[in-house]
Amino acid sequence: MAPSPNPAPSFPDLPSGSCHYAALKLSSAATPQELRQAFRHLSKLYHPDTTQLPPHDAQSAFARLQLAYATLIDPARRRAYDQELAEVAVPSLPPVGPPKLGAAAAGRRVSVRRALSGGEWLALLLLGVALILSLVLGLGVAWARGTALITPPSWAVEGVDRVDGPPEPPMDPVLPQTAQAEPLADADAPP
């Protein structure tokens, strides 16, 4: 029998308040998107490089967050964890929902806004520079060719026909050709 690719880990009996859902401050019915949002928010608070907690406390808190997220984001591991929680029967843990903020309390969906990263700012800067350089290049080429940069529309200029295209020149009548043709000059014949 081949070993399964994701063996379900064994979780020790957890004391009250230390389950993975409580670590992420979510209910057991949380969606994967809510798990990701909660993990991102809490990891910013408890990451050892960004928190004001003592280094040892920050590392242990961040390690608990990582373990909770890794367990709950994988569907097979989450099912095994939920089954083990049901066997342990932790009735003292009330379901904790996502934090309610202003509009969320009224039932409206709150959009999550985040600051742009350095790479995104660089991309916006490069796009702006490319736009300005293309405008300068286009105007420079037009000026070098002597093209008028601003011309009035044809319908606003007096004396111009408002017919599609320029007027055609008048045709000359075709005169019939006479039957008198000049004899061709022979190169060997004397003049």
Give dist(CA 120, CA 108) in Å, integer.
29
Cβ(19)–Cβ(67) under 8 Å? no
Q: How many CB atoms lie within 10 A of CB 42?
A: 20
Does 1 score more than 50 pLDDT?
A: no
Does 17 score more than 80 pLDDT?
A: no
What are the boundaries of each domain within the chain? 20-101
Mean pLDDT is lowest, of 64-78, 90-104, 136-150, for: 90-104
For 13, the token pair is: 């009996």
Look up residue 110 and give its amino acid: V
State the pLDDT confidence band at 11, using cuts at 50, 70 and 90. Answer: very low
Fold designation for 20-101: Helix Hairpins (1.10.287)
Q: Is the pTM of this model over 0.75?
A: no
Cβ(22)–Cβ(72) under 8 Å? no
Does 131 score more than 90 pLDDT?
A: yes
- Residue 30: predicted pLDDT: 86
Cβ(65)–Cβ(43) under 8 Å? yes
For 155, the token pair is: 């319908």
